[in-house]
Every structure is written in C-alpha cells, then in structure tokens.
C-alpha cells in the first residue's frame, strides 16, 4: 500500500534525523548490554577452600572474598580437630554471586567415651557391659591366678578414663596348671650301662640299650629334648674306656617353663 503523499514527503525531509535517532537507540542498547555484563561479572566471586581452617580463619577469608559463612552442622570427627571446618557447600573453586552464603560443618573433634569398670566380672558379663556402652573388646590375655577362671583381673584403659578409641583390652584369670611331667632329657654320654639305668630310673624313664660296649656313645632322643616321665629312651653302648664315677652328672628336672623344641 502506498503511503500518503504528505507522509512520504515528511519522511524524505526528516530521514537524516530518523537515521540518527535509530543509531542512537542501537548504541544505547549495546552500551546497556555491555554495562550489565560487566556488572554481573564484577559481582561473581570464587569460593575459597575453608576445610581444615579454624572458624576464625574461615570467617576472615569469607569476608575478604565477599561471601557469607553459615555454620549448618556440627559433627564428631577423628581426623579434623575440634573448632575447624569439616566440610563446606558449595565446594571450593565454585563461582558464585557476591554475598553468597557458604554453608559449613564444624568439627567437634573425636568423640570422648567413658570406660566402664569391668574388673572382677566374668568375661561374659564384661563383654555385655562393654557392648552395651557401644565399645569394642580388644585383646584378651590370660594369666594363671587362684579362684575362678575367666574373671577380669585388669583392664586397659582403666575405669572412668576418657578416650578417643572405644576399645578395651582385658586380662583374664586362668586356673593354675598342675606340675608338669615333662623333663628336659640330659646327656647320658659316657655313663656305663648301670649308670644310665640308675640315672634314667631317677627321672622315671625306661632305658632300652643296644650294643655291647662299656659306655653310652649315643642316645635317642638327643639331649635337650623334652620327654614325659614313663617314656622310653634308646642308648647305644660302645667305646673302650668306662666313664669315671666321679664325672657322672646327676640329671635334674627343670623347674621353670620348658622352652626347648619338642621332637
């Protein structure tokens, strides 16, 4: 449709002014977009890493960066000391708006537990009491003691101690062992057949001899092995010169714990 003549004439007369006005509007829009973009970027900050820092250090860092700090939770931790930041949200290096509130969890440190007194209890009752307090049983050691078996004689940590590791080690009683019939076999080398029989008889051992020599030249089991009273030993008789009676050593029964190898 054709424009009215008067309108067309007006546009022709004012076209330069219209073009100038349109150019100014475009420039204003572009400037506004650039200004808005710059303003938005200026108000963006990067969240620092607060974990492991004290709350004072974290607050100072947040203030310097331009973000807020809010303590959202407090939890026990065995790795992060009390009063320090355990975790944060959003995490470090996240880009947020200026003034963004960063939520952190403060560590309360290791949880302190009180150790119950189980000395004098049976191991069964002690186990129940320990687990009732949500603790763990550690090492169970035994020692000979008069009285009933499996009674708690001592404990570590001691009663009422405050500890970080909820584990209790117990020392339990066990009945004294009867006198052992075990003996350490002495050397019969050099004894005559009569001498070895007499020495073995005093130890409660039975001798089986082979050979026709005057003295013992070897034996089985060998000296130093542990045997039980009533066991049989085998000796070999040989050689030419009988042993002097004055050189005979009377075998003895050990009184302490036996630590030699059992064949």
pLDDT 10s digits, 71-92: 999 998 888 999 999 999 999 9
Maximum separation of any 2 CA atoms in the chain, in Å: 159
Nearest to 233 by CA among 248, 218, 246: 218
Q: Per-residue pLDDT averaged across 163-180, rounded?
A: 78
Q: Per-residue pLDDT averaged across 52-72, rounded?
A: 95
pLDDT above 60 (res 254): no
Q: Which CATH number fits domain 114-174: 3.40.640.10, 3.40.190.10, 3.20.20.70, 3.30.10.20?
A: 3.30.10.20
Helix count and strand count (H, E) for the chain? 4, 15
pLDDT value of residue 263: 35
Q: Where are the domains of the chain?
A: 1-42, 45-107, 114-174, 182-247
Task: Please state, in angstroms and rounded to a whole number, the distance separating the CA atoms of residues 4 and 12.
Answer: 13
Q: In this predicted model, what pLDDT tens digit does every residue of 89-116 receive, in sequence order?
A: 999 999 999 999 999 999 998 877 888 9
> Both ends of the chain: CA-CA distance in Å?
124
Q: In this predicted model, what pLDDT tens digit does every residue of 234-249 receive, in sequence order?
A: 999 987 654 444 444 4
Are domains 45-107 and 114-174 of this chain identical in fold? yes
Q: Per-residue pLDDT averaged across 44-49, rounded?
A: 93
pLDDT value of residue 257: 39
* Spatial contact of 155 and 171, defined as CB atoms under 8 Å apart: yes
For 215, how many CA atoms within 13 A lie in the half-sphere containing its CB?
A: 15
Task: Please state, in angstroms and rounded to a whole number, the distance separating the CA atoms of residues 180 and 64.
Answer: 79
Please provide residue 33's backbone torsions phi and psi, each rounded to the nearest 5 degrees: -65, -45
On average, the pLDDT of the chain sits at: 82
Q: Which CATH number fits domain 182-247: 3.30.10.20, 1.10.3720.10, 3.40.449.10, 3.40.50.300?
A: 3.30.10.20
Coil, strand or helix: which one is 197? helix
Q: Which residues does 130 contact at the CB level (< 8 Å), separation at least 6?
A: 116, 118, 136, 137, 168
Band (5; pLDDT cuts 50, 70, 90) = low
Helix residue spans in the chain (DSSP H)? 5-42, 55-65, 123-132, 193-202
**45-107 has which CATH code?**
3.30.10.20
Task: Please state, in angstroms and rounded to a whole number, the distance separating the CA atoms of residues 52 and 251.
Answer: 70
pLDDT above 70 (res 13): no
pTM for this model (two decimals): 0.40
Task: Please state, in angstroms and rounded to a whole number, the distance separating the CA atoms of residues 247 and 202.
Answer: 18
Q: Which residue has the higher pLDDT, 263 or 106?
A: 106
Per-residue HEC secondary structure of 197-246 comes to HHHHHHCCCEEEEECCCCEEEEEECCCCCEEECCCEEEEEEECCCCCCHH
Percentage, residues of the chain above pLDDT 90: 39
Band (262; pLDDT cuts 50, 70, 90) = very low
Band (135; pLDDT cuts 50, 70, 90) = confident
Q: In this predicted model, what pLDDT tens digit does every residue of 193-237 receive, in sequence order?
A: 899 999 999 889 999 999 888 999 999 998 888 888 888 999 999
Sign of CA dihedral 66, 72, 73, 74: positive
pLDDT above 90 (res 256): no
pLDDT above 50 (res 251): no
């Amino acid at each position: 449709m054709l424009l009215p003549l008067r309108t067309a004439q007006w546009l022709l007369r004012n076209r330069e002014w219209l073009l100038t006005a349109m150019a100014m509007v475009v420039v204003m829009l572009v400037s506004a977009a650039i200004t808005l973009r710059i303003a938005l970027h200026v108000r963006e900050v990067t969240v620092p890493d607060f974990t492991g820092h004290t709350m004072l250090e974290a607050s100072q860092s947040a203030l310097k960066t331009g973000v807020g700090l809010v303590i959202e939770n407090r939890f026990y931790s065995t790795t992060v000391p009390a009063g320090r930041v355990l975790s944060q949200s959003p995490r470090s290096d996240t880009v947020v708006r200026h003034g963004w509130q960063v939520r952190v969890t403060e560590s309360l440190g290791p949880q302190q537990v009180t150790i119950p007194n189980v000395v004098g209890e049976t191991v069964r009752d002690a186990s129940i009491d320990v687990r009732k307090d949500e603790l763990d049983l550690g090492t169970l050691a035994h020692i000979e003691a008069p009285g009933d078996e499996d009674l708690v004689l001592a404990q570590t940590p001691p009663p009422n101690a405050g500890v970080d590791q909820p584990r209790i080690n117990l020392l339990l009683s066990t009945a004294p062992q009867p006198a052992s019939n075990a003996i350490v076999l002495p050397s019969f080398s050099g004894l005559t057949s009569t001498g070895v029989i007499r020495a073995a008889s005093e130890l409660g051992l039975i001798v089986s001899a082979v050979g026709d020599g005057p003295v013992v030249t070897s034996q089985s089991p060998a000296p130093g092995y542990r045997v039980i009273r009533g066991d049989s030993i085998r000796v070999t008789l040989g050689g030419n010169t009988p042993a002097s009676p004055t050189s005979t050593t009377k075998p003895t029964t050990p009184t302490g714990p036996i630590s030699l190898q059992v064949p």
